[in-house]
Chains A and B, each alone.
Chain A
Amino acid sequence: MANYTITAANVVPSAAAIKSLGTAGETITPGMPVYLKSSDGRLWKADADASLETATVAGIALNVASAGQPLWICTQDPEFAHGTSATSGALWLSATAGALCPEADVYAVGLYPQCIAALYADTVTLAALNCSALYTPEVGA
């Protein structure tokens, strides 16, 4: 299966969302999962198979930002408008930087599976987002 496509304008947090502000380390667009790089303290596109650090998702980007510009991220949201092409199941971090994919794509050697959000069955444009989940990334076997 392929990565989900993201429609940036459709990525919208709810009023109950928990948001955080950081600085982009590269060009980021709404809907992209991002991680916090320890070496520069900036937010970069998360990646499921680059390293444990890149696979530790800090949140979902909420705005367009170039390197050095402010970047808002959503870390938790019970009704997050995810803006992806997913219509069921959950959103998982992809092995493509800044992308999300279905669960079927995450079980591979050298990949750190991480579930980001679960779609609502009745309103598929919304998802329960939790980037602070207790799920511990593991290398796929």
Chain B
Amino acid sequence: MSAVSITAANVLKSASAVGPFTKNAGATITAGQVVYLDSGTDTLKLADANLSVAAATVAGIALHGAYSGNPCQYVAVDPAFVVGGTLVAGQLYCLGATAGTIVPVTDLTTGDVRAVLGVANSTSTLNLNCFSGTVVGP
């Protein structure tokens, strides 16, 4: 399997989403991309499962596009998050090894930090609840 193909215009949080939260973007971000908070600059950047543990510590999923220097909203908890792409119901989704991507857990390999995003409720919504591993995965 491969990364979920996201249509940015279709990314939407549900009414039950926690937050959302806002930080300035430190890179170009599009809706639906997974982001982390760069502690050195206090800005959001694209999360990446095999770049570093810090870059794989997921803050959430971006709700809209943002260029560097502009505010960006994101959510980390949402029981019915519309990811903007096609999911497999019941599948566990994680942060991918390509920056900003969402992948089924089966796509991860040695050296990738396991950063859990959530389990798909259907082909379109994710029970989003982000948490990340603190060490590189086996």
Q: Which residues of A are at the interface with B, using a C-beta cutoff of 8 A?
A: 8-9, 11-13, 19, 21, 27, 30, 62-72
Contacts and interface: CB of A to CB of B under 8 A. Distances in A.
B65 A64 contact: yes
Nearest to B74: A70
Contact of B66 (A19, A27, A64, A66): A64
A69 B64 contact: yes
Q: How large is the interface on B (under 10, 10 to 19, 20 to 34, 35 or more residues)?
A: 20 to 34
Interface string B1-42: 000000011111000000010100000101100000000000
B67 A27 contact: no
Nearest to A29: B65
B9 A63 contact: no
Contacts of B28: 9
Given A63-B65, A64-B64, A64-B65, A69 B11 contact: yes
Most A CB contacts (10 A, CB to CB) among B10, B64, B71 go to: B64
Contact of A70 (B8, B9, B10, B64): B64
B125 interface: no
B9, B20, B28: residue with the most chain A Cβ atoms closer than 10 Å: B9
A30 B69 CA distance: 12
Interface string B58-74: 00000111111111110
B30 A64 contact: yes
B64 A71 contact: yes
Contacts of B66: 62-64
Contact of B70 (A21, A63, A66, A68): A63
Given A9-B67, A11-B67, A66 B9 contact: yes
13 contacts: A12-B68, A30-B70, A62-B66, A62-B70, A63-B66, A63-B70, A64-B30, A65-B65, A66-B10, A69-B31, A69-B63, A70-B64, A72-B70
B84 to A, nearest CB: 10
Given A63-B64, A64-B64, A70-B64, A12 B12 contact: no
Contacts of A21: 22, 73
B112 to A, nearest CB: 29
A11 to B, nearest CB: 7
A30 B70 CA distance: 9
B65 A9 contact: no
